[in-house]
Chains A and B, each alone.
Chain A
Amino acid sequence: MTAVTPFPADARPLLEVRQLSQTYNLRRQKLLAPRPTLRVLDTIDLSVRPGEAVGLVGESGSGKTTLTRMLTGVEKPMTGNVLYDGLDVWTGGEAHRKLFRRSVQVVLQNPRSSLDPRMRVGTSLLEPLRSLKIEGDHAARVLEVLDQVGLQKSALERFPHEFSGGQLQRIAIARALMPNPRVLIADEPVSALDVSIQAQVLNLLKDLVRDLGLGLVFIAHDLSVVAYTTSKVYVMSSGRIVEVGKPLDLFRNPEAEATRSLVGAVLSVETGLAGSALT
């Protein structure tokens, strides 16, 4: 099977952060001294193009979540820029920000907590269109999206508790696709799912990137899952990007300490059987 990418590799980045830094003020320790600060993100550069899947890996506390908040416009950076389609999201004007908000959508880790348990799936799917004030034929859009994620029409009338984890994650992906985004940000989208279901969801994300030309930012701590899904991986540690590269190169020749420790943490059935996994 050959990969067909209708989107040229030199296309302009859809979503980009440049020299992004974020510092949080901590609680005052002494009455007269200035409040101590914590630099959570340090001069981050990252970009994603149409039809490209990039991975973001790192231990907990490395700044992955804060960076996600910047990429989705939930938090405003102290220095540096977040650019959507080449224009700064925070200074580019109201209309541009609105466009950015509907074009960058998120899929979270646990669909059981990210979907409203009292809302029928159909209502949940319409929610983004309602809150983003998007006009158009909503019913047709719902059916189109259901088809894209491989769900039946009957799902619309049901409640989240009637579904399994894998189906719920499909629904969460469908909801993210509703406003017709160009970038999808997936924060640990499979780590709450069962093994046999993980593969289904990973394959779905891959198909969406290929078929719809979405840009995908895939955040995870498991390097082998990231390597399967993405073609470029950013490794984060203590708020910095310490290494960027193709998954293959990172695995074969990890350079940064953080990458080495992530690669070393990958367990496989083969090393386990050989008795070398825990040494």
Chain B
Amino acid sequence: MTSRNAIEVKDLVVGNGDVTAVRGVSFTIPQGGRMGLVGESGSGKSMTALALMGLLPMGWNTHGSVLHDGVDLVSQSDKALSSRRGRTISMVFQDPLSSLNPVRRVGDQISWVIRKHTGVDKKTAEQQTIELITQMKLPRPEQLVRAYPHEISGGQRQRIMIAMALACYPQLIIADEPTTALDVTVQKQVLRLLNGAAHDRGSALLMITHDLPIIAAMCDTVAVMYAGRIVEMGPVAEVFRNPRHHYTRGLLDSQPTMDNIALDGTSRLVSIPGMVPPLHDLPTGCAFNPRCAVATDKCRAEMPELSGDTLKSACWHPVPNSSEVAAQ
């Protein structure tokens, strides 16, 4: 039994008894699709990723359903999840230096993944490793496989991580801030590589980042998370050109880009006042209401649900879209 979607998340709740980091999140990524998950620290985006991977810290548990490859990951045993990780679903972490094993050669780390999941012999796995490293456009693959993580640059390490994530042709790759630890000039190369490699393998991509331009460049759909919930979701172009939620609008406006700043030092960025509420002390109603300029009593009392056709947003007083503005 195989479903046509790479992953179907329904009403995902992640908590540890005291706090709930993810409060009912649902989304679907079709086979080969690309979704971006945007949010600030504390929004629950990384917890969502870890829950999908079955890698939550001790004491945290998951409710809801996560359909992937015909099974519900939430009800799977640790052992079953472990045999999936790296095979049908894999992850690229933010900081390659702390996620690679420092005392093993990088080549051995990649070929170990291949051997564990496909059962090929050592020699074949090593050969495939060299092919992978070559695909990652890394120089002198034969020598590089013998290097330890500390001996290579940050960009090279992240490419090794990507090679490892791609090794078994997974249906879904989760990338959690894959380029934040890298130099800006290397960022583009790594993104391009991840983009191409996922495309070649037909893998779906879940890109988790707070960087809107990266989502715009890589994804077809985007979900904006705030305080554990998705507040807006839809096709990237629609969400970024015509956001209906005031939080999304604020995020877009607070980006210093060449378009919204005067380069003579006179302009001011629009900033969202206040800060992300702590998980143990969420406001009632819409979690964004204390920072929202148009919040009313209704926003403070009732929590809005996601609604809409292609673009869904959870807001009682959505930002008027440009066609409505033009009509007035």
Residues of A within 8 A of B (CB): 1-3, 53, 59-60, 164-167, 194-200, 202-203, 206, 221-225, 227-231, 246-248, 251, 261-262, 264-273, 277-278
Contacts and interface: CB of A to CB of B under 8 A. Distances in A.
Contacts of B185: 59, 261-262, 264-265
A200 B275 CA distance: 10
A231 B192 contact: no
A224 B217 CA distance: 17
B195 interface: yes
A247 B263 contact: yes
B268 A224 contact: no
A230 B237 CA distance: 31
Given A267-B213, A278-B192, A228 B269 contact: yes
Contacts of B35: none
Given A165-B41, A268-B258, A227 B263 contact: yes
Interface string B244-256: 0000001110111
Contacts of B187: 265, 267
B184 A221 contact: yes
Q: Is the contact region of chain A dominated by helix, strand, or loop, or is it mixed?
A: helix
A176 B15 CA distance: 39
B294 interface: no
Given A197-B275, A199-B254, A268-B255, 7 more contacts: A3-B266, A196-B272, A199-B269, A202-B269, A203-B268, A224-B256, A265-B184
B183 interface: yes
Nearest to B263: A248
Contacts of B241: 273
A2 B266 contact: yes
| 10 A-B pairs with least C-beta separation | A272-B216, A199-B271, A248-B263, A272-B217, A277-B217, A267-B213, A199-B254, A194-B40, A228-B256, A199-B269
25 contacts: A1-B268, A3-B265, A60-B183, A166-B275, A194-B210, A195-B210, A195-B212, A195-B255, A196-B251, A198-B254, A200-B271, A202-B269, A224-B258, A225-B256, A228-B256, A228-B267, A248-B264, A265-B184, A266-B258, A268-B213, A268-B216, A269-B216, A271-B213, A272-B213, A273-B241
B263 A199 contact: no
A221 B191 CA distance: 18
B240 to A, nearest CB: 5
B271 to A, nearest CB: 4
Interface in B272-327: 272-273, 275-276
A246 B268 contact: no
Contacts of A194: 40-41, 210, 276
Interface of B: 40-41, 183-185, 187-188, 191-192, 195, 210-218, 236-237, 240-241, 250-252, 254-259, 261, 263-273, 275-276
Given A195-B40, A206-B268, A251-B258, A222 B184 contact: yes
B40 to A, nearest CB: 4
A164 B276 contact: yes
Contacts of A261: 185
Contacts of A266: 184, 258
B265 A231 contact: yes
A54 to B, nearest CB: 11
A271 B259 contact: no
B216 A278 contact: no
Contacts of A198: 254
From A164, A197, A224, A228, name the one whose CB has the most chain B CB atoms within 10 angstroms. A228
Contacts of B192: 278
B216 A277 contact: yes
A202 B256 contact: yes
Contacts of A221: 183-184
Nearest to B240: A269
Contacts of A246: 263-264
A52 to B, nearest CB: 10
A261 B184 CA distance: 9
Given A222-B184, A269-B240, A1 B266 contact: yes
Contact of B216 (A1, A165, A262, A273): A273
A119 to B, nearest CB: 22
B40 A269 contact: no
A71 to B, nearest CB: 21
